[in-house]
Amino acid sequence: MNRYNLCCLPTPLHRLDRVNLGIEAWIKRDDLTGFAMGGNKGRKLEFLVADWLSRGVRAVVTCGASDSNFIRQLAVVGRMVGIEVHAAVMDLPFDSAAGRPKGHSTYRGNEVLSIQAGAKLYKEADGDWEDMYESMEQISRDLNNEGVFAEVVPVGGSSPQGVHAFVQASKELNETFDTIVVASSSGSTHVGLATAFHGTATRVIGISADPEPTLVEDFAVLSQAYGERTGGLALTKFDLDLRFVGPGYGVPSEGGRRAQQKLLESEGIYLDPVYTAKAFDGFMNLAAEGVLGSKALFWHTGGMPSIFTEFA
């Protein structure tokens, strides 16, 4: 797959000697990918943008939370290369089956940055993710009807290119680990790492930012699409731990708040409330449960602007 260089790679990989979890703990600093405030989405966009440019795509349409990290980085790269960015957004989308979590958010850091970068956000009242997917498809149809070559980008950039980005990212590790723990939501970060380490002694565990147990089925579909695209293997099983979501997607958890303080006070590293705080809560608990082995890696995926979002 072609690549459009955006990130400062490799990101740092270092030990966490002061957090004291009773194991040899390491961190991969994808909060420091260096493009548009860092995070895991810059890696996916390197492969997505190269594809769009090669095919003359004029506009891309995605969806997500107003505070989406993906929309922020997509907005910036779209501006850089002259591709319009449109996004259907809700402040706190939810899964009807899991129920609507209590709370709302204001002062959304990523939303401010996405608008600053020129993205067109179509905000709807909070509702089910499926409704937002339908709005995204409609916006794309409208643009194409107006003669703009527009393409839908799956939520979070979770496409074969997104998976590929993390298969490539895995090659930056020059240490071996018993376990790698990463925040997981739309899935391509987790699927990419799981693909890279499949059949090795390293176990990849995703800590879910969403309450839906069915997400792993979507991961399998994504893996199949990646396998078809590259002629590689398609995985059907993923290690996804749903215990640390707290009240729901986009709403901070008590355990996540404790994890944020712990990592900040011991190592001077910030975590975001929506993904990485919950993932580090999972990392700490799994270390205590003895399932991480003796040497484990926490893959920090960024999300820094969400620290400036206020939740009530």
Ligand X SMILES: Cc1ncc(COP(=O)(O)O)c(C=O)c1O
**Can you give the binding site for ligand X, defined by CB under 6 A?**
39-40, 69-70, 156, 158, 183-190, 272, 275-276, 301-303
- Cβ nearer to ligand X, comparing 194 with 284: 194
- Closest distance of CB 184 from ligand X, Å: 5
How many angstroms separate the CA atoms of 309 and 68, rounded?
Answer: 11
The residue number whose beta carbon is nearest to ligand X equals: 303
- Cβ nearer to ligand X, comparing 188 with 195: 188
Q: Is residue 186 within 8 Å of residue 216, measured between CB atoms? A: no
- Closest distance of CB 247 from ligand X, Å: 17
- Cβ nearer to ligand X, comparing 65 with 173: 65
- Closest distance of CB 15 from ligand X, Å: 22
Residue owning tokens 């893959």: 299
- First and final C-alpha spacing in the chain: 43
- Cβ nearer to ligand X, comparing 52 with 249: 249
Q: Is residue 292 within 8 Å of residue 178, measured between CB atoms? A: yes
- Closest distance of CB 294 from ligand X, Å: 26
68 is catalytic: yes
- Closest distance of CB 278 from ligand X, Å: 10
- Cβ nearer to ligand X, comparing 156 with 252: 156
How many angstroms separate the CA atoms of 110 and 69, rounded?
Answer: 6
- Cβ nearer to ligand X, comparing 276 with 285: 276
- Cβ nearer to ligand X, comparing 26 with 70: 70
- Closest distance of CB 102 from ligand X, Å: 22
Exactly one of 68, 170, 184, 185 is catalytic; which is it?
68
Q: What is the 3-state secondary structure (H, E, C) of the chain?
A: CCCCCCCCCCCCEEECCCCCCCCEEEEEEHHHCCCCCCCCHHHHHHHHHHHHHHHCCCEEEEEEECCCHHHHHHHHHHHHHCCEEEEEEECCCECCCCCCCCCCEECCHHHHHHHHCCCEEEEECCCEHHHHHHHHHHHHHHHHHCCCCEEECCHHHCCHHHHHHHHHHHHHCCCCCCEEEEEECCCHHHHHHHHHHCCCCCEEEEEECCCCCCHHHHHHHHHHHHHHHHCCCCCCCCEEECCCCCCECCECCHHHHHHHHHHHHHHCCCCCCCCHHHHHHHHHHHHHHCCCCCEEEEEECCCHHHHHCEEC
How many angstroms separate the CA atoms of 282 and 273, rounded?
Answer: 13
- Closest distance of CB 186 from ligand X, Å: 3
Catalogue the active-site residues: 68
